[in-house]
Structure 1
């Protein structure tokens, strides 16, 4: 018994000693323990927990070196593995806008700046702090706070480490270039240009970029002719040893990495400089023309330097992977904001702007919407204007259910405004996002509006507008303002003058990086069905809401969810093939129930019209499309009605509604009405609408082909036209079913497309039949017209070298 007591005492003593040692170690080494734990958590996929430990270190140990080390580690984590580059810029035209590279979120760099303030305040200058300051500067740059980024580097004057000092200088030079401060960047680089310096690799590229953008092509060519390690600046002149054209004069990746982790973001330059060399050769050998264009790019009426104004063929609406250098036709603005483009080939173009994200982000741009045509000895003048984004002046409750929003638009008057709401949520990676539904937009012509939230909640409905191969985002299905939470407000401006297109004309600006303008909205907690939706368990959610509606036939929320999901579907087919999960009969049922509760809104009318059309109830579909036109005065529905009458073989009615659509719309695909007019032998319409085609559509002048067709002799097909005009469409098809002449193949092909349409309905067999008619066509004019209709009605690549009917792949 005594032995047992002694053993227990011994164990207790050992435990007390062990605990004391742990407490002592924790007291003296707690900061290092936390750092080690924090450093390794991301390896186990726990980034959130790692950030939690980092915040502890930054707030509680800000006066210790370990906080700086941890700050450096955090910055490198943010920048590592992402496409950050000073020279991945923004490209904007009336038809598309996109930016290269990544942005550091406002939340990330705001938090980093707060930590930086504490750490800088409580630590002495030194190399570790210096590296941290360089990193913080880069975070601010890629977060859009360019002035702060530059100020940090300009004030960083205590560095003793040569590597760090050069890293500071090169990043600062890149930032100067990003703001078109070319002379400051040049001076900074030249003063450190010396022989046998590995950093000359980046310095050569930075100087090349400056000279190219200043139009100093001789200097651009000269500096690129030297081996980078031999470069030197003395007696106000750059000298060096020339390399052979086929000599690979670049350092290894390991050598680049050894210079500084904060210089890898300059690596993109080598590809851009390579493209600039090719571009210069292209311009030297380019055919000369007498077409030219000049103008100015200004921001708030002040000149913007270093902006690239480019011309893009009007039918080529894609994003160029090679930036402005892929556009071939461009001019760069000088210190007065003026650009000039010479030797422009005869063609129709859209105007576009390419420039540094840091100069454009958060602004709105005004571009001419219409095509710009050049046809020999043409001189044009077009300006591009940038303004600050819409400024929210007031967002407040004026009673329990009513809010007032007031704003100011620096772009001036002449706009209609649409107000939309989106619930702010976390996207599972620490970033806040909001899904906005434009169908719930509240319109006004004023710069102020009062909104009754209860009324808006009643008519708001979800809208599925984007998906990939997976499930639809649940926040698109759930109606705005239903759930209790913080809601972002977006104010969109639409110019009344349709000659111009405004990009980023809202309260955030184009690719802006700012916190949402928001307010808290009282609402519902998530019910079980909502939670199933949020987990993307759509079939289970549908069953739950259907049962809920049986229990409570007045439950509008259940009606909205079921109407949206059954009408649109909930999972992508992939490859742009639409959605699965649709149930047309149920979609009609629940949307009609909803209409009985919230009335005939534009979205309800269009949804029902589309559902009835897909269900083959054409008269009902037309009824709802016509109601929608009366309610909204929008021409889009006329085209849908025209399609339906085509399916019903009522071609005169189809022609009537196509004419209403195209005469009241800016849409430029006239294939529907041209196809119908040819088959009905309506020469007047063929000439009228073919004249509206671009000079080159898919790089072919189809206007001339239509003109030639009108003048061709077609007397032997009078009976065909007669049957078609009598709307005896099947008899017309039978009349020429064995006609293998050029006109026979032409008309058989068009009658096949007139079934509305082989491509849209996924009828690969009809596509192959049309292609066979096209292949057999011996008349050049008719073959070109068949290619035009194939490109418009089947797929844009129809008839091209690599095109093959999809049925052949099966």
Structure 2
């Protein structure tokens, strides 16, 4: 009897062990992976990898799920002239790992029915990957692989993707033959629907395409984040199609190319948006895609002013820099346009290395020479939250002991003490308190600062940079000054400025020549740590002391040049002296600060002349002053070089032309001019909005109203906070 019980127990234990080993453990691992994936956790990939490597996991299924977890989706990294971002944060290493896993799957033979769908899904994902990464040779090879397969599902996918390739290359008839082959078959699915909609869209059948996209969105809403043809954007077409129909649909075409080191980049999506100063990163305004040769031609666009952008798989941008565009926007008025997006390799920094530490004040940056470069600029990367290295990122040009920021050689030596005299990137919180970075600047002991080098041609256009478009700042050359952060710097980090002031003022009582105390107090007082808390008198007093102690007057000049109009009036001689000294170092900055001097003196003519001498950019004040002096033609020219904004609209350009031909009557002109001078001298947000609301009712001239409305939008007065 005892023997029978032991055998039964043993059998039960073996059964439980076998069940646990073969089913419970892998099922649990799979469940955890799915849960983490649903919650958007990166840890899901770890569990999918464990699930794939578990002995009893079906090989094709496990490897497919692991490969998919490495990628997540093929949403595009969006690049416009005035901004970039979006997409998945997939590394090149994960992309390659996923590709290898999928290729290995395709070498398997799925004998079990339960494995066949994962095999088919792996094939489709491999095709999506080749399109997303622009690997045209690999795409052709895998399409050919599918067309030779015995499985009708594999053949269908390969044919549909071949149809997409034909469509992209302009062979619409070839693509339509593939659609006709399958549209009445049981195999037809959303992939074929998308292909049909894309063909209709690019043949100009907008209404038909709109209905197709509406059906795709309505019938496949659960799959909005899924990829087809290497992109997640196709399901979202329906959401912006009304804008395409109402705002963009017209007869003007923009064509061009997208290349990397002269080689074509296929399957890059082309987007268009109004040149209103903003940009969106969800594939909105899709109007084209590059073919195998990297060429594109947009849908027809209405007359207007547009920004043109591109959508690229982010993982292929970690070694690429987009050359600066000479056409930040397009003005279409019965004419076509052309633009070429040219990517270059990143330049190599020789020194410093990653995580380099320095003990003294000097450090050297060296880099490989770039063909065609006239000069280089070295940027120090800082953050709005410097202690954690997160938040808004700022690029501050580093100047050497001669105050040079442009270097013709391929190396330069810098002094951390001189660089710390600069004002860091400005940010202001909802409470009106400035960010710590503005005061701390660069090279606080113990904190790491990435270094970036940029190469420019003789026309000031960016050729390339050491910083790729998709950057990981913890993986680029950086410098850390050895030492520990002081108690006062900790107070600044936490934006406890009242206590920081008390801390450093107490130090000065004991050590009147303390460099750090002087420097930080000068910035806190001179910038104004909060609205209404600026103490320019104390800042100047301490800055003059700092000059005597350090032998450098740069911090004094930096504080003086930040003065506002009323302060410039009070310290006009001091300000003018600082401006004159700026001329030795940066000519464009000199003319900008000189214009501020004349504005404070209410010498509008000389202020305008100073602004006209700036070569690197066009300040918006020049646009205002040209209108003040009724030179509407030159104001129109200014709009071409302003940062993307509503001021660039066709309506504004037409209004300026009309005002040049038919000047406004005296009352409208007087009211408008007073408003323009308010803008030039500086107006706070709420005051500006109130002033606009007041004068828009007084102005009768419709062209001036058009310009006023554009200024209202350009200033962001329409946005509520």
Q: TM-score normalised to the size of structure 2? A: 0.71
1:511 to 453, 466, 470: 470
User: Helix, strand or coil for the counterpart of 2:130?
Assistant: helix
1:617 to 570, 582, 586: 570
- Relative to structure 1, the CA distance from residue 531 to residue 688 in structure 2 (aligned partners, 3 Å threshold; closer, same or farther) is closer
User: Helix, strand or coil for the counterpart of 2:610?
Assistant: helix
Match of 2:703 in 1: 784
Task: For 1:10-29, list aligned pairs within 5 A.
Answer: none
- Relative to structure 1, the CA distance from residue 746 to residue 593 in structure 2 (aligned partners, 3 Å threshold; closer, same or farther) is same
Give how far 1:785 is off.
2.5
Distance 1:369 1:550 in 2: 55
Structure 1, residues 137-184: CA drift from partner, whole Å, max 9, x if none?
Answer: xxxxx4565444322321344585334434432332221111233435
Distance 1:376 1:255 in 2: 41
- Relative to structure 1, the CA distance from residue 176 to residue 97 in structure 2 (aligned partners, 3 Å threshold; closer, same or farther) is same
Match of 1:724 in 2: none
- Relative to structure 1, the CA distance from residue 179 to residue 538 in structure 2 (aligned partners, 3 Å threshold; closer, same or farther) is same
Match of 2:606 in 1: 656
1:364 to 301, 307, 321: 321
Residue 464 of structure 1 contacts residue 564 of structure 1 at CA under 8 Å; is this kept in 2?
A: no
User: Helix, strand or coil for the counterpart of 2:131?
Assistant: helix
Give how far 1:363 is off.
0.9
Structure 1, residues 78-111: CA drift from partner, whole Å, max 9, x if none?
Answer: 979xx95303232232xx131222315xxxxxxx
- Relative to structure 1, the CA distance from residue 319 to residue 194 in structure 2 (aligned partners, 3 Å threshold; closer, same or farther) is farther
Distance 1:247 1:327 in 2: 16
- Relative to structure 1, the CA distance from residue 162 to residue 594 in structure 2 (aligned partners, 3 Å threshold; closer, same or farther) is farther
Which fold has the larger relative contact order, with Cα–Cα distance below 8 Å and residues 6 or more apart in sequence? 2
Match of 2:366 in 1: 406
Distance 1:79 1:586 in 2: 58
Task: For 1:785-804, list aligned pairs within 5 A.
Answer: 785-789=704-708, 791-792=710-711, 795-796=713-714
1:774 to 683, 696, 707: 696
User: Helix, strand or coil for the counterpart of 2:450?
Assistant: strand
Match of 2:579 in 1: 626
- Relative to structure 1, the CA distance from residue 600 to residue 255 in structure 2 (aligned partners, 3 Å threshold; closer, same or farther) is closer
Match of 2:199 in 1: none
Give how far 1:62 is off.
13
Q: Which moved more, 1:271-280 or 1:297-306?
A: 271-280
Match of 1:155 in 2: 104
- Relative to structure 1, the CA distance from residue 227 to residue 253 in structure 2 (aligned partners, 3 Å threshold; closer, same or farther) is same
Match of 1:750 in 2: 673
Give how far 1:761 is off.
2.9
- Relative to structure 1, the CA distance from residue 253 to residue 336 in structure 2 (aligned partners, 3 Å threshold; closer, same or farther) is closer
1:496 to 433, 448, 458: 458
Give how far 1:677 is off.
1.5
Match of 1:316 in 2: 276
Match of 1:89 in 2: 77
Structure 1, residues 301-339: CA drift from partner, whole Å, max 9, x if none?
Answer: 2222223456666x434213553x5164x5x33322333
- Relative to structure 1, the CA distance from residue 427 to residue 550 in structure 2 (aligned partners, 3 Å threshold; closer, same or farther) is closer
Task: For 1:274-423, list aligned pairs within 5 A.
Answer: 274=238, 287-288=250-251, 294-308=255-269, 315-323=275-283, 326=285, 328=287, 330=288, 332-340=289-297, 352-370=309-327, 382-395=339-352, 401=360, 402-408=362-368, 412-420=372-380
Distance 2:694 2:363 in 1: 62
Residue 745 of structure 1 contacts residue 777 of structure 1 at CA under 8 Å; is this kept in 2?
A: yes
Residue 351 of structure 1 contacts residue 367 of structure 1 at CA under 8 Å; is this kept in 2?
A: no
- Relative to structure 1, the CA distance from residue 433 to residue 784 in structure 2 (aligned partners, 3 Å threshold; closer, same or farther) is closer
Match of 2:203 in 1: none
Distance 1:618 1:638 in 2: 18
- Relative to structure 1, the CA distance from residue 439 to residue 604 in structure 2 (aligned partners, 3 Å threshold; closer, same or farther) is farther
Residue 646 of structure 1 contacts residue 756 of structure 1 at CA under 8 Å; is this kept in 2?
A: no
Match of 1:552 in 2: 511
Residue 392 of structure 1 contacts residue 407 of structure 1 at CA under 8 Å; is this kept in 2?
A: yes
Match of 1:118 in 2: none
**2:480 is the counterpart of 1:480:** no
Match of 1:438 in 2: 396
Structure 1, residues 512-557: CA drift from partner, whole Å, max 9, x if none?
Answer: 3474333564433122222333344333233222222322222222
Residue 461 of structure 1 contacts residue 560 of structure 1 at CA under 8 Å; is this kept in 2?
A: no
Distance 1:288 1:796 in 2: 28
Cα RMSD over matched residues? 5.7
5+ residue gaps, structure 1: 1-28, 105-141, 572-578, 679-684, 715-741
Task: For 1:514-525, list aligned pairs within 5 A.
Answer: 515-518=474-477, 521-525=480-484
Q: TM-score normalised to the size of structure 1? A: 0.64
Residue 445 of structure 2 contacts residue 481 of structure 2 at CA under 8 Å; is this kept in 1?
A: yes
Residue 265 of structure 2 contacts residue 292 of structure 2 at CA under 8 Å; is this kept in 1?
A: yes
Instruction: Give the aligned length.
Output: 651
2:413 to 451, 460, 483: 451
